[in-house]
A and B are shown apart, each in its own frame.
Chain A
Amino acid sequence: MIENKKFNTSYNYAFIDETTKKEIRRKLLKAVCIPGYQVPYSSPEMPIARGWGTGGLHVTLAIIGQSDVLKMIDQGSDASVNACNLRDFVHMTTDCATTFDTREATIIQTRHRITEEKLSDKQIMVFQVPQPEPLRRVERYEYKTRQMHAESDYAKMWLTLYEAYVKWGDVMQGAGYPVMVNGRYIMSPSPIPRWDVPNLNNSECLYLFGAGREKRLYAVPPHTKVEPLEFEDVKFHVEDFSNVKCESTGYNVAYMDEMYQDDGVTKKFYVNDSNFLDKLIEKEEVVQHSNKYIKKIKDALQ
């Protein structure tokens, strides 16, 4: 029989061994130095499946310390099943404090959303990225996309936007709208809705991106120019929720969830960001991200 002792291994603080953590930190520094550039890294296997946030975990676990407060969200919700599982895992291996409150958190790991609440220079947002390569849909092979980035050869990317416009009268890109970072690299913002894309621009906080399966890290440092790809006459636009209202709060200047009721016909809308929604319900004071798109909507309301 196997002796129990054999399997009774204790894991390192924050699970990942120190050598690999160092590697990830070094690569993150490189990513911060070259905003929008994808840095390859070792991406060790985690006890979480590939495609389920391993890249985000690598980043979080490499930067977290005992004094950090972690918030973990998936599709805007703290209570989403996978967010719970990942939060438990980080908590179990680091003993860090966890929170649902966006303001309290020092590290926010997210899948597919930026919080509605404005983030400060004391906060880091970590994105889980399924496909870090924005050029993948115009070029399948990686050795070619690497060259295209190196030489700023982005005409094909622009051409797909043009072709979509010709076909549908709009660029039609939904979540994961490609952005130009610091005037140099086209970057995938991870599949966040267009609503969130303008909040990457000139932010107070640091945004870090981890793509575990594809083994790439990248970053948008604070106060970096991030522009969605748009033509001079065909502009980027965020999702339109002007005709609906949140069932719980009546608010609609936020990204909304559309929920079909059991009758299969009626739809109700709710503010997607669960913590933001809670704060609206509790009538707490909350500072929202501001950008020109949100401003325009708010101006129109007045």
Chain B
Amino acid sequence: MAYVSVKGGADAIANAKELVEFYRLRKRTQPLEIKQIQSQFRLAIDKVMGEGSLYAPEYAALALKQMEGDVLESAFVLRAYRATLQRRYYSDIISTREMFILRKISSSFREIPGGQVLGPTRDYTQRLIDSTKYNESPEEIDQFLKEFDGKIDREKLVDVNTYNKVIDLLKAEGLLMPAEKSYDKTVKDVTLEAIKFPAPRSVTLQMLARAESGGLMALAYSSMRGFGDGHGTIGELRYGAVKVRITDTKGRKRYIGSINVTECEMITKINTTKESKIPYFAIGYGLVFGQNETKAICMSILERGIRSGKKENPSNNQEFVLYHTEGVEAMGFTNHLKLPHYVTFQSGLNNVRESVKRNQEETEDKMKVYKELAKQQQQ
């Protein structure tokens, strides 16, 4: 009787839960430390925090451990946990202009204020599987860190890390699209109210920031390949630490910590407004937790696409993009197909059987006509 036994459901669940624990532990390897996951799986943590929409590296590490490294399942755990937390404050708007920059590149200019800062990236490395990582020893790690430290010339360190952005340069020249009148000034919280379409920009930005990285990439890629606005130019991609502040009940600004974010400002194609023939550039915006450059870039492409208004491309359609890149919901619904559906299936089965019965005679008659026609044609 498969998985709907008469009374055995509860036992089956308990056993399945135990078995999955067994599969995680049965090789008796050293237990992973949360700190290890947090430091050595930095990018996985960043993804989990982004899609889980909770900036909590320790919790993300714990979730990854619990879920055997499944990023989306881990994000789901964070989301569920997040939903139980009381929201005492909304933070003030963070300023990426005062970002402590770890990485900063622009593909639209050869040089930008403060220079191109390559920072930590694997963009220009060969993706060869590295056998030296197979047996990494603590001594090797110490050695690497000591040597690395030796390379730093402390006298050359500059402590100012805030620069003008590329879009500031374009704005000063009057080349940026003027802000649209319809932009909403209030920020909706998508976790506290159901969205309706067309939704304001704050909804687009929140949903995209929480969206599943792969889903965003699929749609943004479709846009780049020709089902959308095409190939933008990265005005600036920044990764670094930004300060988070809240305004307390007495109106005082309070610094509560800093978070790492990736920000992408995508310059999209030249356009004109209805009112004038003067061309301008439009900007697509992406901001995600941690270092997740692919997601930030894809977010900026889709964010711009949604505002551009050519609805025939899926990547430009707000409802299409926002609903279908919501990874945790998509994953849940996909997996619900595994639930028993025999009651609903029986109902359809009943209909089809009746229809077959109804049409049996007619079907035979039709066959007769076809056969006769075929015979005539042969003669």
Contact = CB atoms under 8 A, between A and B. Distances in A.
In the complex they form, whether A and B have CB atoms below 8 Å apart is answered with: yes
Interface of A: 1-2, 7, 9, 11-12, 15, 17, 40-47, 49-52, 54, 74-85, 88, 111-113, 130, 141-143, 146, 168-170, 172-176, 191-195, 213, 215-216, 239-240, 255-259, 272, 274
Nearest to B330: A50
A172 B355 contact: yes
Nearest to B323: A142
B346 A193 contact: yes
Given A45-B328, A74-B340, A50 B333 contact: yes
B347 A75 contact: no
B7 A168 contact: no
A46 B80 contact: yes
A72 to B, nearest CB: 10
B196 interface: yes
A143 B196 contact: yes
A142 B319 contact: yes
B80 A169 contact: no
B329 A80 contact: no
Nearest to A18: B86
Contacts of A256: 346
Nearest to A81: B9
Contact of B83 (A45, A130, A146): A45
Contacts of B148: none
A79 B332 contact: no
B193 interface: yes
Interface string B194-209: 1111100000000000
Nearest to B331: A49
B347 A175 contact: yes
Nearest to B311: A141
B296 to A, nearest CB: 23
B82 interface: yes
Majority secondary structure of chain A interface residues (helix, strand, loop or mixed): loop
A45 to B, nearest CB: 4
A175 B346 CA distance: 8
B13 interface: yes
A146 B4 CA distance: 38
Going nearest first, the 5 A-B pairs with the smallest beta carbon separation are A50-B332, A40-B194, A51-B336, A174-B348, A49-B332
Contacts of A141: 197, 319
Interface residues of B, number: 59
Nearest to B337: A51
18 contacts: A1-B34, A45-B80, A45-B83, A52-B332, A52-B336, A79-B4, A79-B10, A80-B4, A82-B339, A142-B196, A143-B196, A143-B197, A168-B355, A172-B355, A175-B343, A175-B344, A176-B344, A257-B343
A44 B76 CA distance: 12
Which of A49, A88, A113, A141 gathers the greatest number of chain B CB atoms within 10 Å?
A49
A41 B333 contact: no
A55 to B, nearest CB: 11
Nearest to A83: B9
Contacts of B319: 141-143
Contacts of B193: 40, 42
Interface in B60-84: 62, 76-77, 79-80, 82-84
Contacts of B196: 40, 142-143, 146
A223 B217 CA distance: 50
Contact of B76 (A9, A49, A112, A259): A49
B12 interface: yes
A73 to B, nearest CB: 10
B62 A2 contact: yes
A213 B192 CA distance: 14
A81 B13 contact: yes
A71 to B, nearest CB: 14
A83 B9 CA distance: 8
B23 interface: no
Contact of A50 (B12, B328, B358): B328
B350 A240 contact: yes
B6 interface: yes
A57 B6 CA distance: 23
A193 B343 CA distance: 7
Contacts of A258: 346, 349
A41 B195 CA distance: 9
A174 B344 contact: yes
A79 B76 contact: no
Contacts of A83: 9
Contacts of A169: 355, 358-359
A256 B343 CA distance: 8
B8 interface: yes
Given A81-B3, A81-B13, A170-B351, A76 B343 contact: yes
A191 B342 CA distance: 11
Given A7-B62, A112-B343, A191-B344, 5 more contacts: A45-B83, A50-B329, A75-B340, A112-B341, A170-B358
B137 interface: no
